[in-house]
Structure 1
Amino acid sequence: MASTGASRRTALITGVAGQDGVYLARHLLSLGYHVVGTLRPGSRWAPTTLGRAYAYLDGVTLVDLDQRDHEGWAAVLEGLRPDEVYNLAGFTSVGASWGAAETVAEANGMAVLRMLEELIRFRDRHGWAPRFFQPSSSEMFGVTDQQPQTENTPHHPRSPYAATKSFAHHLTVNYRESYGLFTATGTLYNHESPLRPAHFVTRKISAAVAAISLGQAESVTLGNLDVRRDWGFAGDYARAMHLVLQQDEPGDFIIATGVSRSLADVLELAFASVGIAELDAVVQQDPALMRPADVAELVGDPTKAREQLGWEPSVAFEDVIAHMVRVDVERLRSGAEESSAYLTP
């Protein structure tokens, strides 16, 4: 849908240095978009902090913006006047949200409210408003008897993170229905890549497996291994975000593979990729790592995304996990944290 010349489309991605922001930015650049991304002031990804450009964001125009800065958001929106906005900034850790509930509510909830309010003011001034994508989370469904979940499954969030994502999801729907804005959501199930931060469990596993395989560590310690999630590849999910905003009418979509796996499955695949089959000696469990209210299983029904967006995942779960381990092995061997070769299995 992107074009060239005077009609070249502009996309604004908040939180562009995160996993999803990187994959989305690179996808949009490949389609010919002018891509502008926001970084939190003082972020470790900022060129002034790194001392160099962040390799994964080559070609992206970067601006400083705190997700909670209403006036800053208004100024960026007015100055840039983008065609599309992808709101990927915010607090992303379910486990850490228990110790930072107020911060999570501000970054994931109230910030979205202010963004939507500013879209209305922008439309009042200019007669149009950018299309807006809000990434919702499968964690919103929480405790549910409905497996798999659909776009109509009720929310029962079981963490501060999940509650704030549910709030932002319903805000996005309400501002669409009440004000006629083109605001759409994609409920993203777990999606992984080598760009996952180290505190996420899949990356914790891949990094530990890499270290164990090279003789640099002896074991990995985890919490509940029985939880089941619907895991996919982050690059596929970034592609879905773009498709959501290309529809004639805004809507809400489940972005998932339709298959759930246990954390124990992730472990087995990760160790198998380096030739380790016996896990008793290399995996330990610590009850202290259990969350106060964990969700046993989440799996999404991607039928609507498949039929209306024409979207399907392209990378298998097994390939995602094996690729993450390979990249972490290479990081340890080479010392190179970043490489374009790390992005795609």
Structure 2
Amino acid sequence: MRKTALITGVTGQDGSYLAELLLAKGYQVHGLIRRSSSFNTERIDHIYQDPQTPERDLVLHHADLSDGVALTSLLHRIAPDEVYNLGAQSHVRVSFDAPLYTGDVTGMGALRLLEAVRASGIETRIYQASSSEMFGATPPPQNERTPFHPRSPYGCAKVFAYWTTVNYREAYGMHATNGILFNHESPRRGETFVTRKITRAVARIQAGLQQHLYLGNLDAVRDWGYAPEYVEAMWRMLQQDEPDDYVVATGQAHSVREFCQEAFAAVGMDWTDHVRYDPKYDRPSEVDALIGDASKAERKLGWKPAVTFRELTAIMVRADVGALTAQLAGSAVRVDR
């Protein structure tokens, strides 16, 4: 029988790649999108508007993680085999400016969804998108047994969501799993996240549209992987007979400085000619180093990352250079007309 899945945050980077993966596996995919006065579906338009994707294969619903009653009703109606909670306010720096909103959507939103599953009475498997930011100040390498020490409202909200998921698993026997994903990037990464901010700037500087890129802490160390590979790990988690918690990471450490170096080198430029430090981008409390140990995911899920740091950076730079080139060519055509 054909499986169905519900994805919250389907319009985000991970949601769009996960929708593609599940559709390719023959699922019917239901996605939650927030009501907005403007369209915000650009990451999934290529599949939602594709004539090869029947309307019944990808179904979008206007709903929100702040509305538990609507979530319960929707879950009862569609009774998905799998639920992937990817919806969140996921920008760490923004969480300092909007801590209450972040706590409500990222933390309480997970609780509302879990309670909606319980109240609806459906049998389903639940994936909770946890984050390496939960580890915060705890020294690397970090694995499933590493204590949490979050350093942002976002990290705190994710810790709440993590333990809520564990609690519902233990209290109600739910097949509820936490995926503790370290940083994962792609050309679909939001433009305000540091990796995408860098690769977009590389494209603009190469095109002569700007001269400098201003960043905060260049010494912050992260474990960067490729998003399409990470959504594969999410799916594998929910195929296990028993729910559990898994770290997903590459185990490789690179600084923001190194990302700049690789990104500018991809187009033959020296990053030091263009990158400038601006303290306004620093966080009130910094996370110095996040480096994951994903040996459990390799052992139990058979998952290993394949795309290297250098390959990831090149993929993102090529995509942004290509997008800008097409945009400028389109503008030129419009002017000529």
Shorter chain as denominator, the TM-score bin is: over 0.9
Q: SS of the counterpart of 2:92?
A: coil
Match in the other structure for 2:335: none
Are positions 1:285 and 2:283 aligned together?
A: no
Contact 1:39 1:45 in 2 (8 A): no
Are positions 1:309 and 2:309 aligned together?
A: no
Q: How does 1:197-212 map to 2 (within 5 A)?
A: 197-212=190-205
Match in the other structure for 1:98: 96
Number of aligned residue pairs: give it.
321
Q: What is the CA distance between 1:46 and its match in structure 2? A: 5.4
CA RMSD of superposed structures (Å) = 1.6
Q: What is the CA distance between 1:198 and its match in structure 2? A: 0.8
Distance in 2 (CA, whole Å) between partners of 1:178 and 1:324 is 43
Deviation digits for residues 232-257 of structure 1 (CA, Å, limit 9, x no counterpart): 00000110000000001000000000
Match in the other structure for 1:3: none
Q: Partner letter of residue 63 of structure 1?
A: H
Match in the other structure for 1:342: none
Match in the other structure for 1:87: 85
Q: SS of the counterpart of 1:97?
A: helix
Percent of pairs with identical residues:
46
Match in the other structure for 2:46: 55
2:64 to 59, 63, 66: 66
Match in the other structure for 2:106: 108
Q: Structure 2 unaligned segments of length 5 or more: list them.
A: 329-337
Distance in 2 (CA, whole Å) between partners of 1:211 and 1:118 is 45
Q: SS of the counterpart of 2:129?
A: strand
Match in the other structure for 1:196: 189
Contact 1:17 1:45 in 2 (8 A): no
Match in the other structure for 2:245: 252
**CA separation of 1:46 and 1:191: change in aligned 2, threshold 3 A:** closer
Q: What is the CA distance between 1:43 and its match in structure 2? A: 6.5
Q: What is the CA distance between 1:279 and its match in structure 2? A: 2.6
Q: What is the CA distance between 1:319 and its match in structure 2? A: 1.0
Contact 2:248 2:294 in 1 (8 A): yes
Deviation digits for residues 53-84 of structure 1 (CA, Å, limit 9, x no counterpart): 82244542111111211111111101100000
Deviation digits for residues 25-69 of structure 1 (CA, Å, limit 9, x no counterpart): 00011111111111001174457xx8xx82244542111111211
Contact 1:122 1:129 in 2 (8 A): no
Q: SS of the counterpart of 2:291?
A: coil
Give the TM-score of the pair, scaled to structure 1. 0.90
Q: What is the CA distance between 1:110 and its match in structure 2? A: 1.1
Distance in 1 (CA, whole Å) between partners of 2:4 and 2:196 is 32
Are positions 1:17 and 2:11 aligned together?
A: yes
Contact 2:69 2:116 in 1 (8 A): no
1:131 to 120, 125, 130: 125
Match in the other structure for 1:343: none
Distance in 2 (CA, whole Å) between partners of 1:151 and 1:71 is 33
Are positions 1:142 and 2:139 aligned together?
A: no
Distance in 1 (CA, whole Å) between partners of 2:23 and 2:309 is 26
Contact 2:65 2:113 in 1 (8 A): no
Are positions 1:165 and 2:158 aligned together?
A: yes
Distance in 1 (CA, whole Å) between partners of 2:18 and 2:231 is 5
